[in-house]
Amino acid sequence: MKFTVLHNDNNSKARAGLIETGHGEIQTPIFMPVGTVGSVKAVHQRELADDIKARIILGNTYHLYLRPGTKILEAAGGLHKFIGWNRPILTDSGGFQVFSLSDTRKLSEEGVTFRSHIDGSKHLFTPENVIDIQRSIGSDIMMALDECTDGTADYATAKKSLELTMRWLHRGIARYKDTQPLYGFHQSYFPIVQGCVYPDLRRAAAEEIAALDMDGNAIGGLAVGEPAEKMYEMIEVVNEILPEHKPRYLMGVGTPANLLEGIARGVDMFDCVMPTRNGRNGMLFTKNGTMNMRNKKWADDFSPIEEDGASYVDTAYSKAYLRHLICSDELLGLQIASIHNLAFYLWLVREARKHIIAGDYAVWMKEMTIKVSRRL
């Protein structure tokens, strides 16, 4: 994998770059739609590529390991062929899913033992076997196994967790270097900076990870209960240390305003379930703010979802029609809302890139952040 910084903003840490992978190029900053089980919910791959203009999507090791399983994925020739997607894929190692299964998992030096949410069967993830699973999946970018602490964890808990994550990381890198891709293209391996909301822990993790010189680096354990201001502070602390010539991936974040703030602090890659999850619940993101489509005010509003010529949406559908579909629990409503929200997120990062190249990102971001944070 190759990453090149092409432009830097004049008044922020924002940068526009290019990631080159075995499945194509990715212009950064970029948002990655979440396709946890090999499917972005309610969205066809053709729509992802053509309408949403996604350049890379995310899959999840935990879910793909449980179903359909590595044997099926290997027989298919990897996840790309299994789902009919010929652009890059990133896989999360499953650390966050294990974190969310706090009632059914047990941490140890070896790894994490957990019970399947599907049938209750018992499994073990180690730093080594999550590499093996991701080799079977065949993602372009693989993530290290980590422990994600709650954003309100005390210092002692966060320190102990980080130390375990770092020991796991070194074992994972050893396995990564001892194994080879299965499908004829390079797979990158990203370490994850943890440390909760404690600057000294974040700095120590970032310094150790920067010295490892992997293809890229991730920032995890944010947007998990801590205030947004604390999240932005941790991003700044970490990005002062992570090398500028490597892509920086902020995991699981977030709102449109979060993306804009992250970009201003030097983040290149984002993912979040919010566009699709909120869309399925009737919330639409637009460049003028968010809309709750269940609100009665839209019942007789026959204007397009976006009225001012936004290029990322299908203007064939009115607010009233979409509200009708969503209130009727019609599947088409979930599909339209999901496609719209993802298209908006991808549009937003493309616009950010344009303004970084123009050198006025900080000015544009200030105005856009106010707009996207409004409730309509």
* Residues with a known catalytic role: 92, 271
- Alpha-carbon dihedral angle through residues 124, 125, 131, 135, given to the nearest 10 degrees: 60
Residue 172 labelled as part of a binding site:
no
Residue 279 labelled as part of a binding site:
no
Is residue 87 within 8 A of residue 57, CB to CB? The reply is yes
Residue 93 labelled as part of a binding site:
yes
Beta strands 89-92 and 141-143, pairing class: parallel
Residue 314 labelled as part of a binding site:
no
Residue 95 labelled as part of a binding site:
yes
Alpha helices in 105-154, H assignment, sequence order: 129-137
Return all residues near 53 (Cβ < 8 A) that are at least 6 apart: 343, 346, 350
Residue 200 labelled as part of a binding site:
no
Q: What's the CA gap between 349 and 359, in Å, rounded? A: 15
Q: How far is CA 104 from CA 5, 98, 185, 281, in A?
A: 43, 9, 36, 28
Helix (H, G, I), strand (E, B) or coil at 150: coil
Return all residues near 181 (Cβ < 8 A) that are at least 6 apart: 135, 138, 187
Segment (H or E) for 164: helix 155-178
Residue whose structure tokens are 């449109």:
256
Residue 96 labelled as part of a binding site:
yes
User: What phi and psi, each to the nearest 5 degrees, are found at residue 351?
Assistant: -65, -40
State in Å, rounded, how far the first CA of the chain is from the last one.
42
Residues belonging to the binding site are 92-96, 146, 194, 221
Residues belonging to the binding site for substrate are 92-96, 146, 194, 221
